[in-house]
Amino acid sequence: MKIDSRLKVIQVSCYSGYKANERPTHFTVRGRNLQVEKIIDRWYGINHNYFKVLANDEKIYLIRYDQGKDLWTLEKIVGLNTG
């Protein structure tokens, strides 16, 4: 499978309950393993699930799961948790 080089592919460990990859629990960015402390928001598209998460480094990340390709990508580092 050819992957678009613009995508920031990441490795994600998930909780799987009633469906596979229900929500992320850990992910790796730039060689750092981060734990998801809180899911701030989530929304679902036809083929993609988006998660806005607070990680244990106090940063907020937007990550996306492409169900058709079984591929996780980092969409954006939103910033530091201020609240």
Structure tokens at 70: 């079984």
Average pLDDT over residues 10-17: 93
pLDDT at residue 17, as a whole number: 86
Q: How far is CA 23 from CA 63, 76, 79, in A?
A: 11, 18, 21
pLDDT at residue 5, as a whole number: 47
Q: What three-state secondary structure class fits 48? A: strand
Over residues 15-61, the pLDDT tens digits come to 988 887 889 999 999 899 999 999 999 999 889 999 999 999 999 99
Q: Tell me which of 83 and 9 has the higher pLDDT.
A: 9
Residues facing 48 on adjacent strands: 66
